[in-house]
């Protein structure tokens, strides 16, 4: 049985399943269109996210907004969340145990949103959703199918800020996402003019 958003919100906000809760200002569950055909999954909240309680609102988030704009998707038409809902100290990568402790929340979000397409942003999301043996450098840009959902990994926007040379590959990946959304006839109100 699917839990409700209300129960999930309560579970996240009261969660003490790992040590991260002790060091964060507030939980960052995620936000956006709860019926979005496209879901984006990042790693975990950074400083700005921890302060505001919203996912991807810092520098990486600003770049993410531009990336979505580039494929004609307004941010409020997608659902955005992270693998872990509490900010890891000094923005370190969450440990496998911390990811494991939080994975139920992410699974519940996927079950509630029921996206048709998921984009994994960076290595932590790849590890949590596709498995720890996959490397982002090798699997990015490829489609994976899981329980009827098309899943594609690309670089995390923070990686693009650190290394702009990666932007070229990220753009290729984004165009693949746009093409798949069109193929599946998703966001047809946004993409219909392209066909005219
Ligand atoms: N990086 C992430 O992975 N998620 C955020 O919400 C912000 C930065």
Mutate to test the pocket of ligand 1, among 44, 120, 125 (most ligand atoms within 8 A of CB): 44
Does the Cβ of 55 fall within 6 Å of ligand 1?
yes
Is this model's pTM higher than 0.75 or not?
Answer: yes
Note the pLDDT of residue 1: 67
What is the rounded CA–CA span in Å between residue 185 and residue 95? 38
Tens digit of each residue's pLDDT (9 = 90 or more) over 57-74: 999 999 999 999 999 999
43 CA to middle of ligand 1, Å? Answer: 6
Q: What is the mean pLDDT of the chain?
A: 97
Kind plus residue range of the DSSP H or E element containing 173: helix 167-183
Asked whether residue 2 carries a pLDDT value surpassing 90, the answer given is no
Does the Cβ of 46 fall within 6 Å of ligand 1?
yes
Note the pLDDT of residue 193: 64
Buried b (16+ CB within 10 A) or exposed e, 156-185: bbbbbeeeeebbeebeebbebbbebbbeee
Q: Give the position, in ligand 1's atom list, of the atom nearest the Cα of 48.
A: 7
Note the pLDDT of residue 192: 83
Residue 163 makes CB contacts below 8 A (sequence gap 6+) with none
Q: Give the position, in ligand 1's atom list, of the atom nearest the Cα of 124.
A: 3
Asked whether residue 196 carries a pLDDT value surpassing 60, the answer given is no
């Amino acid at each position: 049985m699917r839990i409700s958003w209300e129960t999930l919100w309560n579970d996240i906000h009261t969660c003490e399943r790992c040590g991260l809760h002790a060091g964060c200002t507030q939980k960052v569950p995620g936000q956006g269109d709860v019926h979005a055909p496209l879901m984006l999954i990042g790693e975990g909240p950074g400083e700005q996210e921890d302060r505001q309680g919203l996912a991807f609102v810092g520098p990486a988030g600003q770049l993410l907004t531009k990336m979505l704009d580039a494929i004609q998707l307004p941010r409020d038409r997608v659902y955005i969340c992270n693998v872990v809902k509490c900010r890891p100290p000094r923005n370190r990568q969450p440990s496998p145990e911390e990811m494991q402790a939080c994975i139920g929340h992410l699974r519940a979000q996927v079950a509630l949103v029921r996206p048709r397409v998921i984009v994994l942003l960076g290595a932590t999301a790849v590890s949590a959703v596709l498995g720890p043996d996959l490397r982002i450098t090798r699997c990015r840009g490829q489609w994976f199918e899981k329980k009827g959902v098309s899943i594609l990994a690309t670089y995390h926007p923070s990686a693009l800020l650190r290394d702009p040379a990666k932007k070229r590959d990220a753009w290729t990946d984004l165009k693949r996402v746009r093409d798949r959304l069109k193929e599946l006839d998703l966001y047809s109100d946004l993409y219909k003019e392209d066909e005219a």
